[in-house]
């Protein structure tokens, strides 16, 4: 795992051209005119975090919006029972924190680095100030919020319409660099977080991996070897009723 230099308090990293390219992919910046996105990205800071380090805590003032430049970040809430409910997991080009920053509220979740990572952080005040002269920023914030809403709808659809093995199959397909043939992927973070992201218990995830062997999937440590990506996609998209007897 690449080790990132941790900045001293108050020290900011320069936004490189490579960072700008990644940041422009984020929902917040993708819809903005190039001059405006470049100005906002140029006014941001790059922050390096080690695995397990907190980005922000639930109920802290939402004073920044973030884009992942490298690594993985999870958003979660702690239930009254003490259980961790994973709300989202973001990697390169993914943004978060727009909605509470837009409304001047507090973060409704905690954000934590799942791996060593680098984040672009934009001051909410900078975005809100720019809205007065460039209404496009407000539209971009709304578009980013809608993007997150669509993602939540897809996750609910998965929970309601797919069994555990199908959810795991779709997750593995999302990591594949090819659409057919064989493929070996690296699980980007630990299996307990994968289970939480897919709305499963760790033991249910283990059973799902075992049941996917019949579909040509072999998991060893943090590697998953997929014999036929198209076959796995067929399983993920199969009607739940037809797949129930094999995968539940």
Q: What is the 3-state secondary structure (H, E, C) of the chain?
A: CCCCCCCCCCCCECCCHHHHHHHCCCHHHHCCCHHHHHHHHHCCEEEEECCCCEEECCCCECCEEEEEEECCEEEEEECCCCCEEEEEEECCCCEECHHHHHHCCECCCEEEECCCEEEEEEEHHHHHHHHCCCCHHHHHHHHHHHHHHHHHHHHHHHHHHCCHHHHHHHHHHHHCCCCCCCEEEECCCCHHHHHHHCCCCHHHHHHHHHHHHHHCEEEECCEEEECCHHHHHHHHHCCHHHHHHHHC
* pLDDT score at 4: 44
Backbone angles phi, psi at 199, to 5 degrees: 70, 35
Domains and CATH numbers, the chain: 17-159 (2.60.120.10), 162-247 (1.10.10.10)
* pLDDT score at 216: 94
* pLDDT score at 240: 53
Query: Over the chain (248 residues), what is each successive 10-residue block's mean pLDDT?
Result: 42 79 92 91 94 95 96 90 86 93 92 96 92 85 82 76 90 91 92 90 92 93 94 84 46
Residue 223 CA to residue 154 CA, distance in Å, equals 26
Residue 205 CA to residue 199 CA, distance in Å, equals 10
* pLDDT score at 242: 52
CB contact at 8 A, 223 and 182: no
């Amino acid at each position: 795992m690449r080790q990132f230099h941790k900045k001293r308090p108050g020290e900011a990293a320069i936004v490189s051209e490579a960072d700008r390219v990644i940041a422009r992919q984020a929902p917040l910046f993708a819809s903005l005119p190039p001059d405006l996105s470049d100005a906002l990205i140029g006014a941001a800071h790059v922050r390096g975090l080690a695995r397990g380090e907190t980005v922000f805590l639930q109920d802290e003032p939402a004073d920044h919006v973030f884009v992942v430049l490298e690594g993985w970040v999870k958003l979660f809430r702690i239930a009254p029972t003490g259980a961790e409910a994973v709300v989202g997991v973001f990697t390169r080009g993914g943004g978060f924190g727009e909605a509470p920053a837009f409304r001047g509220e507090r973060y409704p979740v905690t954000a934590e680095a799942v791996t060593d990572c680098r984040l672009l952080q934009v001051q909410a005040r900078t975005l809100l100030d720019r809205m007065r002269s460039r209404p496009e920023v407000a539209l971009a914030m709304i578009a980013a919020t809608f993007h997150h809403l669509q993602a939540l709808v897809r996750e609910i659809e998965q929970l309601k319409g797919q069994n555990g093995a199908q959810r795991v199959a779709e997750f593995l397909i999302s990591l594949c660099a090819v659409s057919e043939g064989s493929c070996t992927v690296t699980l980007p973070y630990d299996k307990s977080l994968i289970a939480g992201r897919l709305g499963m218990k760790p033991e249910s995830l283990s059973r799902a991996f075992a049941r996917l062997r019949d579909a040509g999937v072999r998991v060893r440590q943090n590697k998953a070897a997929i014999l036929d990506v198209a076959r796995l996609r067929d399983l993920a998209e199969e009607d739940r009723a037809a797949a129930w007897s094999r995968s539940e």
